[in-house]
Chain A
Amino acid sequence: MDLIRILMTRCAALFRAKRLDTDLDEELHEHIELAVEENQRRGLSAQAARTQALRDFGGLTQTAEAYRMQRGIPFVETLLQDGRYALRQLRRNPGFTVTVIATLALAIGANTAIFSIVNALMLKSLPYPEPDRIGTIFWHIEGSQPFEGRSEINGAQWELLRDNVPSLISAVTSPISSGANLEAGNTVEYVHAGRISARYFDVLGIRPVLGRGFTEEEDRSNGPNAVVLSNALWRTTFHADTHLIGQAIKLRGQPYSVVGVLPADARTPLDADVFTAIKPSRKGEGAGTNYGVIVRLRDGANWQQADGELNRAWADEAGRFVNEFHRGTRVSFYTVPLQKGQTATLRPKVLTLMLAAGFILLVACANLAGLTVVRMSRRSAEIATRLALGASHRRIQKQLWVENLILAFIGGLAGVGVGFMALRGLLSLLPPDYLPVTGAPLDGRVLGFTMAASMLTSILFGMLPAIALRRINIRSFMASRTTEGIERLRLRQVLIAGEIALTVILMAASGLLIRTLIHLETLPPGFNPQGVLTAKVSLDDARYRDSAAFDKLMREGPAAMERIPGVESAAVGLSLPYERALNNGWKMASGPLRGQSAMSGFSYVTPGYFTALQIPLLAGRTFTGADRRGSQLVAIVNRTFARRFFGTLNPVGQSLDDQGTIVVGVVEDVAVEPHSEQVNDPLGSEPMTYTPSAQAPMQMLSVVHAWFQPSWIVRTSRPVDGLTAQMQRALTGVEPGLPFSGFYSMSDLMAKTLATQRVEVALLSVMAGLALLLSTLGIFALVANIVAQRSREIGIRIALGSSVRSAMAQVAGPGVRASLAGLLIGLICCAGTLRVMRSVLYGVRVYDAITIASVVATLAVVTLLATTIPSLRVTRIDPAQTLRDE
C-alpha cells in the first residue's frame, strides 16, 4: 500500500517538476544563507563564512540531483532527457541521420510491401466461415514422372464423391467462369457465368440475400433452368429489383428463372456475375476430367478420414487412369485446404521474394553497422568527457540505445510509407486476376511486422557500438588517438564482404530471370502479331447449337468484318496464339504411330484464319469454302504435330483418325500456353490440329462452347478509328443480340500470358538493384572514412616522396579487397543456391556464363567507382600543410 502511494506521489511529481524545482532551489539557498549568518556570528569574514557554509553543505548540484532522484521516477525522467539529447545529436549530424533513415526506409519498405502480399495471400483467412474446413482435391502420381497438382474430376468420380464420402460436403464447378450472353430489356451483355452444383454455396458458407441456391432437381440433366445473380449484377443491370425472384431472364439464348441473389460481400473462387447449375453427368463434359471440385469438411470429421474415404471411393477410377494414361504409376488423391491449394504455385515465388527482401534488410544492417561504428569513434571524445563528468557507463549506453530506437522508429515509419507506395505501384502493375485476393491492405499484422523488423535492425546495428563502447575509457582517449582503427577497419571490411556476397546472389538470380524473360518474349510467335485486334463472342447459346445457325455466323460474320474500311482480313478461331488450346484425344490412323492414342491441341477456324494471322503455310493448302459440312473431312496440322506423329513422312494426304479425316496442309507453329501437366513453360509450341468451322462436330461444340468462347480476329493495315464500335455494328447487322467482349491486341495477349514472368523479373531486379546500391554506398563510406582518418598519415607519406596514385591505391585497397572477397564468397554460394531456380528458368542454364560474367563486370565497375571517387580526395591533401600541422 505504502509502495503504491509513494509511486503515485512520484508520478505526480513528474508533472510538477518545474514548480518543485523552484521550491527546492529556494529551500537550499535559504539553508546556505542561514549557515553564512551563523558563521559570521562566530566571527568569520563574509567571504570565509560563505566558503565554509558551502563546504559544510557538500555539493549543491549533487544534493539537488539526489533529491530529484528521490522525488520523481528517475527512469522516465532520464529517458525523456535522453530522448531530447538524442534528437539534438541527430539534428546536428544530418548526413548520418538522413543516410540511416533513408537506408532503413528502403530496406524496411521493401520488406513491408512483400510481407503485405504474403499476408494477404497466405496468412489472412479466406473470407468464408471456418475457412480451414474448406478444401480442394489434389492428386499424386508416383512413378517415372512424379506429379502433384490440383485434380479435376469426371462425372463418375463426382457421383462417387457425392454418395460415398460422408465426411465431406462436396460441389463441382466449371473450371473457370466463361462468357455468356445476357439479355435484359433491349440490351445484350456479355457476362461471366459460372456453373456450379447444388451445394456450392453450402460449401462456401454463403447464404443468398434474396431467394435461395439451387435444388437437386435444378441440378439434374433435364431439370429446369435456374440462375443465381451476383449482387453487383443485380444492382447494375436489374436495378436491385426485389421482385426479380421467380421471374425469367434470357441467358444463353434461353429463359432462366431467377432463384436467388448473392449478398454484396460474397466472394467466390469463380468470381462470376451469374451462376447456373452445372448439371453433372457421365456423358459429354462429364466423360472427361473437366469438373473443378471444392469441398467442406463436415462437423466432427477430419481430413485424414476424408482422404481415406476418397481413395476407397475412387479406387476403380484411379485404376482406370493408370491403365489408360499413366502406365506403371500409382495414383492417389488427397484433400488440401483451399488457401494452400489456391496459392500452391504462387507460394514458392512469393517466398523467394521474401528471402530477397530479407537479404536487402541484412545488407542495410551491415551498412548501418558500419556507419554507426564510424560515428562511435567520432564521438569517443564526447563520451570520454561525459564519463569524466561522472556519467555511468550504463547511463551512456542507455542514451545510445534511445538514439538507436528513435532512429529505428523514424526509419520504421518511413519504411511503412515507402512500403505502402511500393505496394500500390506493385498492385497496379499486376494483371487484375493475378492474385487470388482483392487488395493487400496494410493491416495490423503488417504494421506489427514492420515495427518488429525495424527494432530488429536497430538492435543489430546498435549492438556493435554498445560493445565498442566498453573499450572507451578516459585514459585510453587521453593517451592515444588512432589505436582501434585497424580492428574497426577489419570489421567493416567483413561487413562489406558479406553485403557484396548477398548482392551477388541477388544479381545472379535476377540476371537468370531476365534472360528467361528475354527468351520468352523473343520466342518466334509463328505469326505476325502487328495490327491484329481480337475479341470474344459467347456461343454458349441455345441459338447456335444448330449447325445451320452456326455455319451462317461463321460465314457471314468475318465477311461483314472485312467490309469495314481499313480491315484487311477477318476470321474466327476457337483459340488464339498465346492462349491455352483445347486438348483433344483420338487414335492415329496412319503414320509411324498408327493405332496409338494421341493427344493434341485442337481448334476450329474459318478459312481466312491463317491469312488473317499471317501464319506461314509449310505444305499443302489452307481451308476453302469447299470444305463444308458433308464433304470430305479435312484437317490442317502444325509443324510440331507433323514431326511428332508423322516423323519424316509428309502428312499431306495422310489419314488422321478413324473418321477418315485427311490432312490437307501443314502450317508453322504458333506460341501457345502449353498444358501444365508435364511441362511448366509459360510459352511454347504444342502439336495442333485445325479443323474447318464448317466441319466442326456440333455435339463436341455444345460442350466446348461451355468452356471456351471463340475469338474473332481482325487485321488492319493501318489504325482505324472506332474499330471496336464498327466491329460490333457489323456483327449486330449479321446477328442481332450477340455482344463482343474483351477487345485485345495480340501484344496484350502475350503480355497477359507472360505477366507472371514480367512481374517476377521486375521485382527481383529492383531488389537486386537496391542491394547493389546499398553495397556501393557501403564501400563508398568505407573508403571515404579511411581517407578522412588517415589524411595525416597520407600527407606525410606524400611529403616523403610517395606518389599520389600509390596513396590513392593504398586508401582504396581495403575497399577493393573487401569487394573481391565478397564476390568470391557470393559466387561460391551461387553455385549451391541457384540450383533451386532450375524449374523456373527457360532457355537458359543455371550456371549461365553470360549472367555470371555480367554480374562480375557490374560489380567490378561499381567497386571501381565506389573506391576511386572518395580516394580522389587524396589529391587535395597538401603535404606541406600536413607537415605544418604536426
Chain B
Amino acid sequence: MGDKSDVLQGTLDLMVLKTLEAMGPLHGYGIARRIEQVSRDALTLNQGTIYPALLRLEQRKWIKSAWGISESNRRAKFYSLSALGRKQITEETENWERIAATMARFLEPAK
C-alpha cells in the first residue's frame, strides 16, 4: 500500500498530460491507474484527486473530453490531449528538468 503522500497540483497536471500523451485517449480511472503504475506504486494518491485536476486542465484547454464507451460496455468520459496541451508538455518538461538539475546540485555533496 505505501503512504499516501501529497502531490503538488502542478506535478499531477504534468503526470496526467504525459499519461495521455503516451496512452492516447483514456477515461479518468484509466489515467489514475496508469499514474499509479508508472510511479511503481510508490505514489498512491487518492484517485479522486484526479478529477479536479482534469477539470482544471480542461478549463485551460490543454485537454478535451468526450463521452464514449468503456471496456465494460458502459458510458464513460474520455480525455485526450489538445494541440495546446502537447505544446504545454514540452514547456513543462523543460521546466521540470531545470528544477531537477538545480535541486540535484544542491543535494550533491560539495565538489
| Residues in chain B near residue A28, CB distance under 8 A | 48, 51
**Whole-angstrom CA separation of A96 from B33 in the bound complex:** 55
**Whole-angstrom CA separation of A263 from B47 in the bound complex:** 81
Chain A 57-75, CB-CB to B under 8 Å as 1, else 0, gives: 1111011001101110000
A23, A60, A69, A70 pick with most chain B CB within 10 angstroms: A70
Q: Are A67 and B52 CB-contacts (below 8 A) given A35-B29, A38-B33? A: yes
**Whole-angstrom CA separation of A488 from B111 in the bound complex:** 68
Chain A contact residues, CB within 8 Å of chain B: 2, 6, 9-10, 23-24, 26-28, 30-31, 33-35, 37-38, 56-60, 62-63, 66-67, 69-71
User: How far in angstroms is the closest Cβ of chain A from B68?
Assistant: 11
The reply on B44 being an interface residue by CB < 8 A is: yes
A-B contact pairs, 27 of them (CB 8 A): A2-B60, A6-B59, A9-B59, A26-B75, A27-B77, A28-B48, A28-B51, A30-B27, A30-B29, A30-B75, A31-B28, A33-B74, A34-B27, A34-B70, A35-B47, A37-B72, A38-B33, A56-B47, A58-B46, A58-B47, A60-B48, A62-B48, A63-B49, A63-B51, A67-B52, A69-B52, A70-B59
Tell whether, in the assembled complex, residue A59 and residue B48 are in contact, meaning their CB atoms are under 8 Å apart.
yes
User: How far in angstroms is the closest Cβ of chain A from B71?
Assistant: 8
| Residues in chain B near residue A33, CB distance under 8 A | 72, 74
**Whole-angstrom CA separation of A67 from B48 in the bound complex:** 9
**Whole-angstrom CA separation of A70 from B57 in the bound complex:** 11
Chain B contact residues, CB within 8 Å of chain A: 27-30, 32-33, 44, 46-49, 51-52, 55-56, 59-60, 70, 72, 74-77
Tell whether, in the assembled complex, residue A31 and residue B29 are in contact, meaning their CB atoms are under 8 Å apart.
yes
| Residues in chain A near residue B28, CB distance under 8 A | 27, 30-31
Name B's interface SS: helix
Q: Are A34 and B72 CB-contacts (below 8 A) given A2-B60, A27-B77, A59-B46? A: yes
Tell whether, in the assembled complex, residue A58 and residue B49 are in contact, meaning their CB atoms are under 8 Å apart.
yes
**Whole-angstrom CA separation of A355 from B28 in the bound complex:** 67
Q: Are A30 and B51 CB-contacts (below 8 A) given A6-B60, A58-B46? A: no
Specify the chain A residue showing the minimal Cβ separation from B77.
Answer: A27
| Residues in chain A near residue B75, CB distance under 8 A | 26, 30
| Residues in chain A near residue B76, CB distance under 8 A | 27, 30, 34
User: How far in angstroms is the closest Cβ of chain A from B35?
Assistant: 12
| Residues in chain B near residue A56, CB distance under 8 A | 44, 46-47
**Whole-angstrom CA separation of A66 from B70 in the bound complex:** 25
**Whole-angstrom CA separation of A61 from B51 in the bound complex:** 12
| Residues in chain B near residue A67, CB distance under 8 A | 51-52, 55
**Whole-angstrom CA separation of A9 from B72 in the bound complex:** 32
**Whole-angstrom CA separation of A60 from B72 in the bound complex:** 21
**Whole-angstrom CA separation of A67 from B52 in the bound complex:** 5
Specify the chain A residue showing the minimal Cβ separation from B32.
Answer: A31
Nearest 4 A/B pairs, CB to CB: A58-B46, A63-B48, A58-B48, A34-B29
| Residues in chain A near residue B29, CB distance under 8 A | 30-31, 34-35
User: How far in angstroms is the closest Cβ of chain B from A375?
Assistant: 37
Tell whether, in the assembled complex, residue A30 and residue B52 are in contact, meaning their CB atoms are under 8 Å apart.
no
A9, A37, A56, A60 pick with most chain B CB within 10 angstroms: A56
User: How far in angstroms is the closest Cβ of chain B from A427?
Assistant: 59
| Residues in chain B near residue A66, CB distance under 8 A | 48-49, 51-52
| Residues in chain A near residue B30, CB distance under 8 A | 34
**Whole-angstrom CA separation of A59 from B46 in the bound complex:** 8
Q: Are A71 and B51 CB-contacts (below 8 A) given A34-B72, A37-B72? A: no
| Residues in chain B near residue A26, CB distance under 8 A | 75
User: How far in angstroms is the closest Cβ of chain B from A57?
Assistant: 5
User: How far in angstroms is the closest Cβ of chain A from B104?
Assistant: 32
User: How far in angstroms is the closest Cβ of chain B from A10?
Assistant: 8
User: How far in angstroms is the closest Cβ of chain A from B109?
Assistant: 39
Tell whether, in the assembled complex, residue B74 and residue A30 are in contact, meaning their CB atoms are under 8 Å apart.
yes
User: How far in angstroms is the closest Cβ of chain B from A41?
Assistant: 11
Tell whether, in the assembled complex, residue A70 and residue B56 are in contact, meaning their CB atoms are under 8 Å apart.
yes
Specify the chain A residue showing the minimal Cβ separation from B71.
Answer: A34
**Whole-angstrom CA separation of A28 from B52 in the bound complex:** 12
**Whole-angstrom CA separation of A37 from B60 in the bound complex:** 32
**Whole-angstrom CA separation of A785 from B49 in the bound complex:** 49
User: How far in angstroms is the closest Cβ of chain A from B97?
Assistant: 24
User: How far in angstroms is the closest Cβ of chain B from A100?
Assistant: 40
| Residues in chain A near residue B49, CB distance under 8 A | 58, 63, 66
**Whole-angstrom CA separation of A347 from B78 in the bound complex:** 75
Tell whether, in the assembled complex, residue B47 and residue A27 are in contact, meaning their CB atoms are under 8 Å apart.
no
User: How far in angstroms is the closest Cβ of chain A from B48?
Assistant: 3
Tell whether, in the assembled complex, residue B52 and residue A57 are in contact, meaning their CB atoms are under 8 Å apart.
no
Known A-B contacts: A30-B27, A56-B44, A71-B55. Give 13 more (CB < 8 A).
Answer: A27-B28, A27-B51, A28-B51, A30-B76, A34-B30, A34-B70, A57-B46, A58-B46, A60-B48, A62-B48, A66-B49, A69-B52, A70-B56
Specify the chain B residue showing the minimal Cβ separation from A60.
Answer: B48
Specify the chain B residue showing the minimal Cβ separation from A34.
Answer: B29
